[in-house]
């Protein structure tokens, strides 16, 4: 079935370091979304990508929609303690059109050491 | 309201008890989604409404799960005869259009004991 695989599963980095995580799928996606979830909160949308090859930035965050449409990556530059959380990639469930029904990866947990 | 509001934030239910989880979406948002998030996992789709119409309930795990949105705004997810495997965070999300990128509420953490 449709699956999103995120790597790494977890990261423990020093404050100020850059972070890179990615998301891959065996099926093609037309939209890639990156969310961040803090403990006890719901996911918050960080970046949305709608076109193969698209590179989009949001402050210190940069995400790219892979050319094959089967992958995406998220980079965080100069990490700070508040970047701690779980990062999820997500995309439309196959066959759901533009309804907004999403499938999520299993998440990358980021911990930042001050 | 300013964001998606869910209540209660936490619910402990005895096995076999019925529960009702409430979602107040952002005012004017047409689409409303319910997701289930098990510990250490990403959210999984349960059901989807467009206004008051439930267009997709393919993700509901059993017929003990029921969702409604009678007036196209507030939605309730009801779980009958709760089981331990129902323990999870239940997330509600809403969006203005049918495009992806919905806003999520804080979730209701359900623990069945």
Q: Is the pLDDT of residue B27 over 70?
A: yes
Which tokens in the block code for residue A23?
A: 């998301």
Closest CB from A35, A42, A92 relative to B107: A42
Q: What is chain A's pLDDT, residue by residue, as a tens digit (114 residues)? A: 788 999 999 999 999 999 999 999 989 998 999 999 999 999 999 999 999 999 999 999 999 999 999 999 999 999 999 999 999 999 988 777 667 789 999 999 999 988
User: How many C-beta atoms surround the C-beta of residue A99 within 10 A?
Assistant: 19
- A77 to chain B, minimum CA–CA distance in Å? 23
Residues B8-15 have a mean pLDDT of 98
pLDDT of residue A98: 67
Q: What is the mean pLDDT of chain B?
A: 94
- pLDDT average, residue stretch B53-81: 96
Q: How confident is the model at residue B98 (pLDDT cuts 50, 70, 90)?
A: low
What would the mean pLDDT of B32-58 be, rounded to a whole number? 95
CA of A15 vs chain B CAs: smallest distance (Å)? 24
- Chain A residues in contact with B93 by the CB 8 A cut-off are 42
The reported pLDDT for the residue numbered A23 is 97
Cross-chain residue pair A33–B48, CB shorter than 8 Å = no
Q: Nearest to residue A42, comparing CAs of B33, B1, B13, B59?
A: B33
Is pLDDT above 70 for B101? no
| Closest C-alpha among B65, B85, B87, B84 to residue B76 | B65
* Distance between CA atoms of residues A13 and B52, nearest Å: 46
Is the pLDDT score of B100 beyond 60?
A: no
A 11-50 residues with CB < 8 A to B: 31, 33, 35, 40-45, 48
Among residues A43, A53, A11, which one has the least CA distance to residue B42? A43
Binary contact (B31, A90; C-beta < 8 A): no
Backbone angles phi, psi at A51, to 5 degrees: -140, 135
């Amino acid at each position: 079935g449709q699956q999103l695989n995120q790597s790494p599963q977890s990261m423990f980095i020093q404050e100020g370091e850059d972070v890179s995580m990615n998301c891959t799928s065996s099926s093609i996606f037309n939209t890639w979304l990156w969310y961040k979830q803090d403990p006890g909160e719901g996911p918050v949308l960080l970046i949305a990508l709608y076109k193969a090859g698209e590179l989009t930035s949001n402050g210190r965050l940069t995400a790219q929609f892979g050319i094959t449409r089967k992958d995406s990556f998220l980079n965080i530059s100069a990490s700070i303690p508040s970047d701690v959380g779980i990062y999820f990639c997500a995309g439309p469930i196959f066959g759901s059109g533009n309804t907004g029904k999403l499938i999520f990866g299993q998440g990358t947990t980021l911990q930042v050491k001050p | 309201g300013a964001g998606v509001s869910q209540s209660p934030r936490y619910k402990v239910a005895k096995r076999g008890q019925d529960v009702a989880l409430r979602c107040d979406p952002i005012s004017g948002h047409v689409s409303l989604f319910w997701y289930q998030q098990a510990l250490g996992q990403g959210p999984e789709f349960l059901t989807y409404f467009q206004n008051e119409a439930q267009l997709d309930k393919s993700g509901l795990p059993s017929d003990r799960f029921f969702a409604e949105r009678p007036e196209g705004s507030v939605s309730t997810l009801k779980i009958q005869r709760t089981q331990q495997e129902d323990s999870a965070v239940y997330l509600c999300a809403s969006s203005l259009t049918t495009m992806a990128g919905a806003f999520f509420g804080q979730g209701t953490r359900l623990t069945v004991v």
